[in-house]
Each structure stands twice: as C-alpha cells, then as structure tokens.
Structure 1
Amino acid sequence: MAAGHETKALTGVTGLDDVLAGGLSRRHVFLLEGNPGTGKTTIALQFLLEGAKLGERCLYVTLSETDTELRESAASHGMVIDKNIEIFELTPPESLLDSDQQQSLLYSSDLELGETTKLIFEAFERIQPSRVVLDSLSEIRLLAQSSLRYRRQILALKHYFARKGATVLLLDDMTTEMLDKTVHSVVHGVIHLEELAPDYGSERRRLRVIKYRGQAFRGGYHDFAIKTGGVEVFPRLRAAEHRTEFRRDILPSGIKAFDGLLGGGVERGSSTLLIGPAGTGKSTFALEFVRAAVARGEKAAIFIFDEELGLLFSRMRTLGLDLEKLRDEGSIHIEQLDAAELSPGEFAQRVRQRVNDANAKTVVIDSVNGYQSSMPEETALILHMHELLQYLNRQGANTFLTVAQHGLVGDMKSPVDVTYLADTVILLRYFEAFGRVRRAVSVIKKRTGGHEDTIREYRISAQGLSLGEPLTGFQGVLRGVPALIGGQGSLLSSSGEGEDNS
C-alpha cells in the first residue's frame, strides 16, 4: 500500500486543511455529513485526487451514484479521475437481465448487509488503497434496519480499515427520517456541512468541525463555496493569529485643512469610519487617502458594494483622480462586489489576499451598508467587522469604512452602529445657511492622538476637495439647521474661498 509518510492526509480542499490544522489524521475514519447539495461528493473527489497526486492508491465505494455520474461530476470541475482512483459501484444496473453487466454492479436492496460489507472488503483487498471514500451511509443504515445492527456494522468497518492503515471518509446525506448519531461516537472526526437559503440572493454554505479526537482545530462556522474547480473553504478569521511589526507613522491625506482637523492625519495601522447621509462625499474623503498612499509609493485596495465602477471612475476623474489608470498600472486593486452573491467569509478572504499578496497598505470598504447585506444578522456583522479591522490594523494597513445614514438632515440613524470599532470617526453633515445647502465635516473621535474639535464646511468641485475655516459663528450645524449666533460665519463661496457672512 502506497501510504504517505506524513501524519496528516491533505484534503485537497483550499482552506479546509487550515480549519483541520493540517488535514485528516492518517489511518483513521472520518465522517462528512450534510444534506444533498452541500458539496460532500465534490469534497470526497478532491480528497481522493489529492491522494492520487501523491501517488497513493484510492478507492471510491458508491452505493448511491453510478461510475458515470461520478466521472461527469468530476469533469464539471475540470477534475480527471486517473488510474490511481478506482470507483467501485454497488448500485443497480440498467437491466438485471443484461449478462454483460460487470460483477461489481449489484442491486443493493437485494443484498444482505453482510454481503454488501463483504463486497466492500473484497474491493479493498484487491486495490489496497491508502484513501477510501464510502458513499453513503444512508444506504447501509437502511440495510441494517436497526440502530444496534447499524452501529455494529460501522464498528466492523472502522476496525477493518484501521487494521489496514487506510484513511477513510464516510459520507452521510442525512436523508433518513431518524437522524442516528451513532457514527459520531465511533469515528475519529466529524465535519458537518450546511446550506442556507437567504430571502434574496444565492445560497450560502458553511461547515463546522464538530469533533476531531486528539487534535486542536479551528472551531465555529466557516463559509465555503462550490465553484468550478471544486470546493473552496474560507476559514473564519482570527485576528489574534496575525501580527506584524511596523512603525506607527502619521499619514496625511494631502489636504492641509483636513489634516489639521485630524491632528495631522491618521496613524498607520488604524481604522477610520466616515459616516453621514447619502451624497455627502464619504467615498471622496476615503479616496483622498488612496491618492496620498499611491503618492507615497504604496499599494491600495478598494472594495465597492454600492456604486457602479464606471460611474465611480468617471466621477473621480473629474476630481483629478484617475482610478482606472492607477488600476491598470497596478497601484490599486479595485473590485465591485455583489452582496447578494458573497458570504462574509469569502469577502474577508479577498481582503486578506490583497493585503498579503499585493502588500496593500490602504483598504477602502464602501460601504458597510452593502457589507451588512451579506450578513445574516447584525450581531454577526459586528463580530466579522471586529476581526477584520483588528487583522488589518495588525498588518499595518489603514482601513477606511463608509456608512450611509438614513435621512438627510435632522435626526439621522445608522443601519448598524460600528462607531465603537473604528479608531477615528469622521462625521459628515448637510446644513442650510443663507438659502443654500452646504456640507460640514467634523472629527468626533480619534483614539490615536489629538484632533480639532471644530466643524468645517467643505466643498467638492472640479478643483477637488476643499475645506474652509472653522464655523465659529453658527450653532446647530450638526443638526442641519444652524443658527447664526454672532461673530463671523466663515462660509465657503461658490469659488471655494471663504466668504464673510456677518
């Protein structure tokens, strides 16, 4: 038997070996369970193909699918079942009267359980595999007809495979009326697959390792997706596992008045939240930091949930920032995301890849409202955001988040409160003064140093983003309808210069 020398058998599933702390312990039996359509067969094929790639002999025993169906399923993912993988069928033939049918094609319902097990053992002795997949336990459970007999049969299979030194993956489609947990107590480890159906958008899949004897593993739920090429798992992010050393420099935006408001800029390795009603320019403020990062020779990554990329390119080009050119030059990565088709785990994985592979030091997420749409619950959003922001901070990356509040002026509410997660909070507001709608910016919070406590008017024009002097002559600007209280109300003129409105 061409068994590998490693103590773990890699599954061949991207991300799953990370969850399993290196793979499946060799010479043990594992259970992969989940309802039909959750990806059990695809994972099983990837497990065997990984073994075949290492030169190991592999056996797929199927009581539910035919050889043709398995090969077609593999081909749909671009997988090729080579000579190192043997498929042994225990499924009914097309015609019981066809004398040309192979001897391995037997009608399962006509077999006694002992005869079925004997045929499996004979196939094993003939092939001598290092890896075995048995699909599925539901058929064996039906043949056993009782819980006691079923348990004894599973124990017999376990002891047999253990003596032979094979690593075995048992599949269970959980279609029987009584969910028998017998196998959970017998096998070495249990991987549970789930499929969730949101009210809108594509299905979401996740997995959880319920049990793994003698082995620490990454607990909790992990999102995964079935794509062309196989299953890809997105391990749950744990920021505590990732830490790098870096200098906590102060990074300016390049706009003098804005940097003055921020006390010089934002600290490297911190997160900034830009919050305000729609249209106040939250994305524009965030992208000024992207412009500054590129000018320093750094890479940036922008993830857009809400705005169409073509419109964003056109809008920023009028402000002197050619995002499309910077993308083509490789200075920035910009990606438009569909929250209805994306799980939070996959999004976190994409962000990590840009930070790790492309060394992006500035990350923009626009907006948290769109990100929230990919979350099943608000509490889950907070937890995901916390881990993602902590991870980015510890990599020395600066994160800029935008949140659109409901309403335009007056009492406005946010769909989710993430202000306590961010190191810096920048508040943008509309306000009315002298018959015009104007916009104001203030820094509400900054953990990493001092900042101005003033409120400044700003304007976005063809010349870019410009800020005026502190609005010292007004009261109630943040409520949207200020009152002139005397002195000077230094407002910006239409040209962007300050005008004195006494």
Structure 2
Amino acid sequence: MKSESLKAGTGIEGLDDILVGGFRRGRVYLLEGSPGTGKTTIAAQFLLEGAKHGEPGLYITLSETEEELRETAESHGWTFGSPNAIFELVPPESLLDDQQQQSLLYSSDLELGETTKRIFEAIEGKSPKRVVLDSLSEIRLLAQSSLRYRRQVLALKHYFSRNDATVLMLDDLTTENLDKTVHSVAHGVIRLEETAPDYGAERRRLRVIKYRGQRFRGGHHDMVIETGGVRVFPRLVSGEHRTEFKRETISSNSPALDKLLGGGIERGSSTLVLGPAGTGKSLVTLTFAVQAVERGEKAALFIFDEELGLLFERARGLGIDLQALQDGGNLLIEQVDAAEMSPGEFSQRVRSCVESLGARTVVIDSLNGYQQAMPEEKQLVLHMHELLQFLNRQGANTFLTVAQHGLVGDMQAPVDVTYLADTVVLLRYFEAAGRVRRAISIIKKRTSAHEDTIREYRIGSDGITLGEPLTNFQGVLRGVPEWIGENTLLNDGLA
C-alpha cells in the first residue's frame, strides 16, 4: 500500500502541506477554535474532498441545523449530497417536555445517553469513512463533569476506530473552563485563532498543537476564509527550497549605475534601496525590472504604497511603458493592500510568482507598506529573512525599497533590514548652488567590490543620469554639504 493512501486529504492544499499529506486514516482529530474561526468550513471541505474519491461522509451536528449548514455550503458554491449526508441531532421531544422530566434522575443523564445512542445509530446506518462531529461543547455540557466527559469521548473514539472512520471533532471553546481532555485522547489537535487589528480586516491563523507519531510543519500559519472555502498559507521555511542556478552579474540599463555597483547585481542576491520620499527609489528598482524583461525574463512588482494608475503614468513620463510590458506577459504587477492581506498570504503570492510563473526579478515597493501588515517589527524582520533567503536560493534578484523619515539631515528608517540585504543603495537630497539635488552611493555590497564614491544623479525623461563623483564636497550624506573646492555638478542637459 502506498503511503499516500494512508492519509485522508483535507481538500485544502496549504493544510495538507502542513500535515504532510493530511490526516492519518482511522483516527480521531480535534479542530478547536472560537466561533468564526473557520471550523465548519474546514470540516465541510474535509467531507467534500472525501466525496471526490468516493468516500461516504457524515456531518453530525448538535449545534447548527441542517438548513443552516446547507446555506453555509451554498454560500461557497458547494452542495451536500451523496455520498455525504447531514445528521441533525436534536434532543428527543420527551426530554424537552417539562411534564416528562424525571424527578429521581437528572435529565442530563438521559440526554447524554440518548445523544450517544443516536450518534451510534447514525454511524451504523450509513457506514461513513469520514465523520464530522459538531460540536464537543454540547457533549461537554451534557456530561457536566470532566470525568464523564472524558469517558464519553473515549467511548466515541473506540467506536469510531472499530468502524475505520477518520473523525474530525469540532470544539468552539465556549465553555468557561477550557477542558484539555480531548487533547490527550485525540490523535492530532489543530487550533484556529482570530485576531482583530486596530485597523483593517480580521486576521486568522492556525497551528498544529500535536500530531501523534507524525512530523508536521510547526508554528503559526496564516489563513483566510473566502468564497470557495478556506485557504491556508504554510509558514515559509527557506531551508526547504533550493534551486541550482548560475551566479552571474546582472546589469541595469545605465552604464554609470553599473560602474557604481562594481559591474552590476549578482544573480540570486537582494538589494535594498534606502532614502527619503521622492528620491527615486522606485525608479531605481524599475530600472532593473525593465532590464530583466528586455533580457526575456519575467519580473514581478508588488506595489504597496502607490496607486497603479499613477505609477504607470509617472513611469511613462520617465520613458518606461509599464502597461506595454505588462501586456507582453513578462512583467507582473500587483497592487497590495497591507490592511487586507496577511504576511503569510503575501509570502505565498511572491513564492507563486517565482515557482509557478518563473519570475527571476522581484520588486517589493516598499517595506514601509509591508510593515503595516505586521503586528511587530521583530516579526517583520523574521518574515523578511525567510522570504529573502527563499528568493536568493531560487536564483531570483530581489529589490526592496524603504522610505526613511525626514528629507534632509538625520533620518531614521522605520525598520532596519540593512543587514539582511546583500547590497544597500543609499539615496540622499543635498543643497548646492541654490538647488535641491540628489546623490547616490553604495554603502554595502557583499558579493563584489564597488565604488565608494558619492555621485549626483538626475531623474528625467530618459531615466537616471549619473554625474562624476562629488570629490570637492563633504557632508553630502548629511544633506548640508560643505564646499571645499571646485566640483563638477550636473547641469541642465549636461552630465
């Protein structure tokens, strides 16, 4: 028997990746989380995936009506039909009638026994291979004590095991005391969580707490609920991805910029372009993206800060027709809303562009926008470390921009990722001869030697024009340089 047949896939690609194939057949699993975290949706996808392979499924519901479940399924475009079935388990009418209540026995004793009996009858009648029990909170309330609850769950587990069913038990964690009884009984436990940031859409994530006798991908994994079901984005582990490629030097379309960089950018490296707003950070990265397309490669731009229509218009004024490049199919441009997208989803999109679409140049503009998707700076650095390592190992060239606070003088970046990048390009404003000018320098390059000069540059209809090194100024990087002799500056139309 092939190892794949030992696993019951969930129908959710990302979750199956985390579980290394899915759930081991014939075992009981716990899916827990507060209301609204996606338990019902995942459970439904689990049954529908079984139906695709001819495995009969049964959804036993104690908390929702059959009508509510079918409405939920219809909202995703699903239909519960053969070989799946819904069994709505409600208390017998006699137990709801005040005149039939027992005086010597607690009604909960009768309800628990009757509930268990009806669950067994439902299993016997349909012999399902996949079962969902929703939810354990109702059984816990009927049991009234931790001991009775544990005995009841154990009885259900042994019964399901004898019937060779793969069972997903749902727990909405609505009881006052968070009983961990099922954690020790279940073969595996998955916890779903939801957080509400101060601004933007709610964020959902999951974590595999245990999976007995089976390795799995640990940590938190972002997820979303959308029309069509749940999508899970496995945490990126760069060490699991490595591709053989030729390390070569990639040039821009500016000989002067290539000279400043010591010949260009090495394949499979990351470049950080740092500077205040308006200094041309996006243009520098676009220069390399356009050059990649002209070489016949694919490039991907992820734009956080600028509206695409404005970006296209601005680039056109600089001699770059982004629309034509995009229509040609080799330039992929995506607007990213940091308030609506989790870091895990963003990493997955970047990964798809490289692995599925073959992008060899990736531009992230900017990290300021990316930071807004992160609750803490420390997490941003960890996410960026894994993402950059992944891209480097895939042989992709990554270009990141960071807008520093302020315009001249002492400036600070909102997050320091300079140590992560292989090359750091620094852009600055400075005042000279009664004009505001721009200067560029390379302050770090791991892969090769580079110029240690500071050059003035100008942005025009033909792109970036670089001048000679500013040898007779000092203090340019502070924004208020001091003239110490004759110097050649860029004049209008002259380099």
Fold-level similarity (TM above 0.5): yes
AA partner of residue 477 (structure 2): L
Q: How far 1:357 sits from its partner (Å)? A: 1.2
Q: How far 1:14 sits from its partner (Å)? A: 2.6
Match of 1:493 in 2: 491
AA partner of residue 483 (structure 1): E
Matched-pair contact (CA < 8 Å) for 2:109–2:142 = no
Q: How does 1:267-416 map to 2 (within 5 A)?
A: 267-416=266-415
Residue by residue, what CA displacement relative to the aligned partner does 1:311-352 show, whole Å, maximum 9, x if unpaired?
Answer: 000000111111111111101100001000000000000001
Residue by residue, what CA displacement relative to the aligned partner does 1:340-394 show, whole Å, maximum 9, x if unpaired?
Answer: 0000000000001111111000000000000000001100000000000000000
**What secondary structure does 1:335 align onto?**
strand
**CA 1:109/1:80 → structure 2, altered by over 3 Å: closer, same or farther?**
farther
Residue by residue, what CA displacement relative to the aligned partner does 1:150-178 show, whole Å, maximum 9, x if unpaired?
Answer: 00000001111111110000000000000
AA partner of residue 217 (structure 1): F
Q: How does 1:36-435 map to 2 (within 5 A)?
A: 36-91=35-90, 111-435=110-434
Match of 2:103 in 1: none
- Equivalenced residue count is 484
CA distance in 1, matches of 2:459, 2:4: 64
Normalising by structure 2, we get a TM-score of 0.96
Residue by residue, what CA displacement relative to the aligned partner does 1:26-65 show, whole Å, maximum 9, x if unpaired?
Answer: 0000000000000000000000000011001101000000
**What secondary structure does 2:381 align onto?**
helix
Matched-pair contact (CA < 8 Å) for 2:367–2:402 = yes
TM-align CA RMSD: 1.7
1:17 is aligned to 2:16: yes
Q: How far 1:93 sits from its partner (Å)? A: 9.4
AA partner of residue 14 (structure 2): G
Residue by residue, what CA displacement relative to the aligned partner does 1:232-289 show, whole Å, maximum 9, x if unpaired?
Answer: 0000000000000001100011201100000000000000000000000000000000
Sequence identity of aligned pairs in percent? 72
Matched-pair contact (CA < 8 Å) for 1:361–1:397 = yes
Matched-pair contact (CA < 8 Å) for 2:108–2:143 = no
Match of 1:103 in 2: none
CA distance in 2, matches of 1:111, 1:196: 39
**CA 1:96/1:71 → structure 2, altered by over 3 Å: closer, same or farther?**
farther
Matched-pair contact (CA < 8 Å) for 1:293–1:300 = yes
CA distance in 2, matches of 1:478, 1:180: 61
Match of 1:462 in 2: 461
CA distance in 1, matches of 2:282, 2:4: 53
User: Gaps spanning 5+ residues in structure 2: where?
Assistant: 97-106
Match of 1:436 in 2: 435
CA distance in 2, matches of 1:95, 1:489: 99
CA distance in 2, matches of 1:109, 1:146: 11
1:6 is aligned to 2:2: no
**What secondary structure does 2:152 align onto?**
helix
User: Gaps spanning 5+ residues in structure 1: where?
Assistant: 98-107
CA distance in 1, matches of 2:235, 2:439: 39
CA distance in 1, matches of 2:184, 2:92: 35
Matched-pair contact (CA < 8 Å) for 2:91–2:115 = no
AA partner of residue 57 (structure 2): C
**What secondary structure does 1:284 align onto?**
helix
CA distance in 1, matches of 2:409, 2:4: 68
**CA 1:109/1:36 → structure 2, altered by over 3 Å: closer, same or farther?**
farther
Q: How far 1:13 sits from its partner (Å)? A: 1.4
Matched-pair contact (CA < 8 Å) for 1:65–1:91 = no
**CA 1:69/1:96 → structure 2, altered by over 3 Å: closer, same or farther?**
farther
